[in-house]
Amino acid sequence: MKKLLGISLLVGWGLITIISNSSCSSTPSSPSTPDTIHLAFLTTIPTFHAAGVSDTSEIWLSCGCPFVLNADQSSGDTGVFQITDLDAMTTRTTPHNLHVLLKPGTPKGNYSAWYAYWAIDHLNGTDRDTLRVTASF
């Protein structure tokens, strides 16, 4: 009976530890404990095969917490792609839905671009990820 109680307490403590570590109200990690939260794209944008085609990608913090999304640098054929945050980048939400459009009238060819984003997580860490888009038609 004592063994069962001990195992139950250990499992309960483990669950509380997991829940508290993934909570949006947790405290910043110490320098010896690296932050495991990261900004990530939930879905990837496929290669576009015609001008005027669009798709949506979600970007989120791995902790699941709401956040404000910030655009950083971009490079490549950025003139042929239009990226719009459907949720407004200044809104604290999760996930942010990015609408990607291959602009109408784009001549046939091969195009690629990347767009860097960052967010401050609930531990005050800066998390980054990059959206990569391509077109070939």
Q: How many whole angstroms from its chain centre is CA 79?
A: 23
Range of the domain at 79: 35-136
| 3-28 pLDDT, tens digit each | 554 544 444 444 344 444 456 765 55
Higher pLDDT, 43 or 63: 63
Residue pLDDT, tens place only, 94-113: 999 999 999 999 999 999 99
CATH at residue 47: 2.60.40.3450
What is the pLDDT, as a whole number, of residue 42? Answer: 73
Residue 25 located in a structural domain: no
Distance from C-alpha of 84 to C-alpha of 100, rounded to nearest angstrom = 7
Domain count, the chain: 1
Say how far apart CA 96 and CA 94 lie, in whole Å: 5
**Are 110 and 90 within 8 A, CB to CB?**
no
Nearest CA among 116, 96, 91, 118 for reference residue 37: 118
pTM, rounded to two decimals: 0.75
